[in-house]
A and B are shown apart, each in its own frame.
Chain A
Amino acid sequence: MKTLLFALTLMIAGYAPAQDASAYQQAMQQALAMLDSAETGDDYQAAANQFERIGQVASDEWLPAYYAAFCHLNRVSDGIEKDQIDPTLDQVETLLGQARERGGDESELQVLQGWTHQMRINVKPMQRGQKYSGLAREALGAAIEANPDNPRAYYMMGTNIFYTPKMFGGGAEKALPHFENAVAKAEAFTHDNPFWPSWGGAPSAYFLEKCKEEVDG
């Protein structure tokens, strides 16, 4: 009887945090599965919502906000209505701010910041190209500086340079070494945290091939 009461007490007392921790793990796994299988903008929106819900409760964790921002950036990348781009990117920046407050990894957050700047260009390429391309490069430079082993920083820097016209210092040839770096660092990249960002390897390999083709051809 005593054992039972003890177990019961333990269960009730220990229940909440134990459940929270495992619930967090479970919710993150679920949300990451949603993200992995996302194909349409709606899928990414649903995944972003899930991450935002997690972030509201797990108020010490920065990864939910990071992934919510990542989902929204994917939505914008895949193409959303033009007048939705700026409000969505404003939301991304709010999420990145939240992740930063919660002690988020500087290098990973700068990668998304750089991506956000790059996406701002889509609203008005002619007018915004120069300013936001520069801001993106600044953020991505900071991402590499904060962690020279982050493959995503090289990948994003590579795409920035790849899509910058040659006369403004861009092009396939100049982007190529960044994609080489990205592919190599992606292979070597490991992290103790199973939820740590791990994207970027596959598209880097794709862009690397594309650059090689353009340079050789």
Chain B
Amino acid sequence: MRFWTLCFMIVYSATAWSQTVITGQVTDRNGQPIPGANITLQGTFEGASSDANGHFSFTTYQSDTQAVAISYVGYKPFAQILVLRGDTLRIEPKLKEEISALKAVVVNAGSFEASDENKTVVLSPIDMVTTAGSNGDVFAALQELPGTQQVGEQEGMFVRGGSQFETAYIIDGLLVQAPFFSSVPDVPQRGRFSPFEFKGTVFSTGGYSAQYGQALSSVVVLETQDMPDKTQSNLGLLPVGVNAGHQQVWDNTAAALQLGYTNVTPYFWINNTRLEFDQAPEGYNAAFNFRQQTSDDGLWKVYATYDARRLGLQLPNIEQPDQLTPFAAVNKNTYLNTSLKEGLNDNWAIYAGASYADQDDQFTIDGQEVITRNQLAQTKVMATRFLGNLSALRTGAEWHWRTNDMGAEGGKFTQRAQYRALFSEADIYLTNRLAARAGLRYEYTDLQDAHNLAPRLSLSYKTGTHNQVSLAYGHFYQTPQAERNAQLFPFFQQLPQLEYERATHYIANFQHLTDHYTFRIEGYWKEYDQLVQYDGLGNDWSVNNLGEGYARGIDLFWRDKKTLGHGEYWISYSYLDTERQHRDFPAPAMPAFASSHNLSVVYKHWLEKLNTSVNVTYNFASGRPYYNPNNPVFHGDRTPNFHNLSFAASYLTTLWDHFTIVFIGVNNVLGIDNIFSYRYNSDGSYRQAIKAQELRTLVVGVFISFDHTKNP
């Protein structure tokens, strides 16, 4: 009996109980140690964790052939078969990094992104609201980024030597016909959309994706909020009006309605305007949102806005300085946007969107009535094939139907045009360090019977954990359209003869990005050709596509969130060298909206004890060219330099237990009387300076949000 037991024990220990020591070092492909990796003898509880130097060692009583698995977050799992023979085994696993959105290089030449989730974000949506001088206007905050020009007398984004008509605005994938309120001479208008509607913004100053067309210089891509978190109501009180809204959230559905009334009359009591208003701007607006979660990865969105506004003022009369010209406008704008995104499976996702816009403007200038009505219907579809490791192929198509009506005393004209586009684009991630985006876009416009093929290419390479370099190249086309460019109205009937205008972009950038600091330097060279030209003197009412030009420059951006503790700041600087011959230019010249040097310094400070955010923005722009008929050199004169200091403060508090923001903003605190441009009479004997509507702009408001979720 004892003998057998003994035998058994000997046999047992000889097989199962012989010890093997497994030891080694876990490193990445570059030999850098990986601490904290999990080393497991598969099918057993046995294993170890690597120490700070990646070393590990453990003893096992297992025998024969066993698999050892090594895993660590962010790396591909590693496995090795070992034969355990009761000695010491040394292994040197080298883990391969997984290509992950968090570590991978980002293809971002030319673009700035503002969102909550993406890591490459330079601005957050909160920045867009709090930046002094922006006063809650989506587009005004983007003007504090490099590549933009300070243009005080008209709305729109002037990017890298491009006019305001060269920037396209996209909401949920669809082109927006009228992103700003209808123009009033010399009075810049706000964007129509509230920054709170959007979860993310990409502002591209060049080299953008083949998904977007009809923009020579820039695209502003806005993405509306997904499912909101909670049911809540809000109320805003301002000297210029009131707005109120409610948002209701069900399990998979949400709906929101926002209504507003604006009347600038009380504001003029407290702040003098330099213009003489017969009818202070008065308007109504409504915004409706609907969201339906169609599946785990599916969301259907509807976003609709309507606004109506009227105003009347006396414009200076350049030919008879002692007289005024009455101007009145009634504007109505309807916008509807709906889109569906659906993730079909791990490999495929689809997008489908449609929008309709109707802008109805009725102007009366010196008793003459002009009516314009622009309608744009469009639809877009896109399929995305995921290729693994972040790589993806997107293919889509886009259709636009435009109807432009123009009516004046002389008659009424209508123009209809169809536009079609096809695009395909691949994001290719070769490693975490190297990625490329290559795309091709084909466009056709039936009115002009013209088509084009635009290649786009971007490359990004990560030179270190926090550094990357990018290159971008592409062709960009735009159809000359009267409704986007008031100067083309006289040529309404000749538009069919025109070709696309074209820009070619070359961009190189370097970026250093950490949690606390962002540094970017970007150089660009943009060539324009096929620009629309006509005779400015009205001798010859014919247009052609023979214009051309260039823009080149350097954009710098520095943001520091650390050095100043509770304060942070960013600095944008743009240098621009541009000349072109287009429109009515008699010779190549720098356009009147361009300035060589633009600088923005934005400072934000959080006063913790006062629950107040204090923001200051300083803008500088060197003088802009203007047309002086007495100077033989076209655009040979420059306006004085532009300076502006803006201030904004938001106080966060509660009113009757409801979260409340009290906001105050002052533009041009120092009261510098900037001159944007000069306007001359026809014989050049008299000129008027074009200045801001009011010396300082004041915005005050109280915004209350009513949270309907139960507090535990």
Note whether A and B form a binding pair.
Answer: yes
Q: Which residues of A contact B (CB under 8 A)?
A: 1, 4, 8, 23-24, 27, 42, 45-46, 49-50, 52-54, 56-57, 82-84, 86-88, 91, 124, 126-128, 130-131, 134-135, 137, 140-141, 144, 157, 161, 165-169, 174
Query: B125 an interface residue at 8 Å Cβ cutoff?
Result: yes
Which A residues are in CB contact (< 8 Å) with B37? 49
Q: Are B712 and A157 in contact (CB under 8 A)?
A: yes
Per-position 1/0 for B17-45, Cβ under 8 A of A:
00000000000000000011111101111
Contact A4 to B47, CB < 8 A, known contacts A49-B36, A87-B102, A127-B125: no
Shortest distance between the CB of B504 and any CB in chain A (Å): 37
Jot down 28 A-B pairs with beta carbons below 8 A, ordered by A: A4-B4, A27-B45, A42-B35, A42-B36, A45-B36, A49-B47, A54-B45, A57-B44, A57-B45, A83-B102, A83-B515, A86-B102, A87-B74, A87-B102, A88-B73, A126-B124, A127-B116, A128-B116, A131-B229, A137-B712, A141-B712, A144-B712, A157-B712, A161-B712, A165-B611, A167-B654, A167-B659, A174-B711
Q: Are B49 and A46 in contact (CB under 8 A)?
A: yes
The CA-CA distance from A144 to B45 in the complex, in Å, is 34
Query: B344 an interface residue at 8 Å Cβ cutoff?
Result: no
Q: How many residues of B contact A (CB 8 A)?
A: 43
Shortest distance between the CB of B604 and any CB in chain A (Å): 10
Shortest distance between the CB of A94 and any CB in chain B (Å): 10
Which A residues are in CB contact (< 8 Å) with B46? 53
The CA-CA distance from A168 to B658 in the complex, in Å, is 8
The CA-CA distance from A27 to B229 in the complex, in Å, is 42
Which A residues are in CB contact (< 8 Å) with B51? 42
12 additional A-B pairs beyond A49-B37, A157-B712, beta carbons within 8 Å, are: A4-B4, A27-B45, A49-B38, A49-B47, A52-B38, A87-B73, A124-B116, A127-B116, A127-B125, A135-B229, A167-B654, A169-B707
Per-position 1/0 for B690-712, Cβ under 8 A of A:
00000000000000000101011
Query: B258 an interface residue at 8 Å Cβ cutoff?
Result: no
Shortest distance between the CB of A208 and any CB in chain B (Å): 17
The CA-CA distance from A118 to B230 in the complex, in Å, is 17
Query: B653 an interface residue at 8 Å Cβ cutoff?
Result: yes
Nearest chain A residue, comparing its CB with the CB of B125: A127
Nearest chain A residue, comparing its CB with the CB of B43: A57
Q: Are B653 and A167 in contact (CB under 8 A)?
A: yes
Which A residues are in CB contact (< 8 Å) with B36? 42, 45-46, 49
Query: B52 an interface residue at 8 Å Cβ cutoff?
Result: yes
Q: Which residues of B contact A (CB under 8 A)?
A: 1, 4-5, 8, 35-40, 42-49, 51-52, 73-74, 100, 102, 116, 119, 124-126, 229-230, 515, 611, 652-654, 657, 659-660, 707, 709, 711-712
Partner of B73, one of A4, A27, A91: A91
The CA-CA distance from A134 to B51 in the complex, in Å, is 37
**Top 7 closest pairs, chain A to chain B, by CB:** A49-B38, A45-B36, A46-B49, A27-B45, A127-B116, A49-B49, A167-B654
Which A residues are in CB contact (< 8 Å) with B652? 167
Nearest chain B residue, comparing its CB with the CB of A57: B45
Q: Are A127 and B4 in contact (CB under 8 A)?
A: no
Which B residues are in CB contact (< 8 Å) with A84? 73
Q: Which of B37, B40, B611, B652 has the most CB of A within 10 A?
A: B40
The CA-CA distance from A23 to B119 in the complex, in Å, is 44
Which B residues are in CB contact (< 8 Å) with A140? 712
Contact A134 to B8, CB < 8 A, known contacts A4-B1, A53-B45: no
Shortest distance between the CB of A124 and any CB in chain B (Å): 7
Which A residues are in CB contact (< 8 Å) with B515? 82-83
Q: Are B712 and A45 in contact (CB under 8 A)?
A: no
Which B residues are in CB contact (< 8 Å) with A49? 36-39, 47-49
The CA-CA distance from A157 to B42 in the complex, in Å, is 39
Which A residues are in CB contact (< 8 Å) with B653? 167
The CA-CA distance from A118 to B480 in the complex, in Å, is 52
Q: Are B654 and A134 in contact (CB under 8 A)?
A: no
Q: Are A134 and B35 in contact (CB under 8 A)?
A: no
Q: Are B126 and A45 in contact (CB under 8 A)?
A: no
Nearest chain B residue, comparing its CB with the CB of A164: B711
Nearest chain B residue, comparing its CB with the CB of A40: B52
Shortest distance between the CB of B653 and any CB in chain A (Å): 6
Partner of B40, one of A24, A56, A134: A56
Which A residues are in CB contact (< 8 Å) with B229? 130-131, 134-135
The CA-CA distance from A134 to B707 in the complex, in Å, is 11
Shortest distance between the CB of A182 and any CB in chain B (Å): 13
Q: Which of A45, A86, A91, A144 has the most CB of B within 10 A?
A: A45
Which A residues are in CB contact (< 8 Å) with B43? 57
Which A residues are in CB contact (< 8 Å) with B48? 49
Contact A53 to B712, CB < 8 A, known contacts A127-B124, A169-B707: no
The CA-CA distance from A107 to B670 in the complex, in Å, is 59
The CA-CA distance from A71 to B46 in the complex, in Å, is 19
The CA-CA distance from A195 to B43 in the complex, in Å, is 22
Shortest distance between the CB of B616 and any CB in chain A (Å): 18
Partner of B49, one of A1, A45, A137: A45
Shortest distance between the CB of B422 and any CB in chain A (Å): 37
Which B residues are in CB contact (< 8 Å) with A127? 116, 124-126
The CA-CA distance from A124 to B124 in the complex, in Å, is 10
Shortest distance between the CB of B229 and any CB in chain A (Å): 5
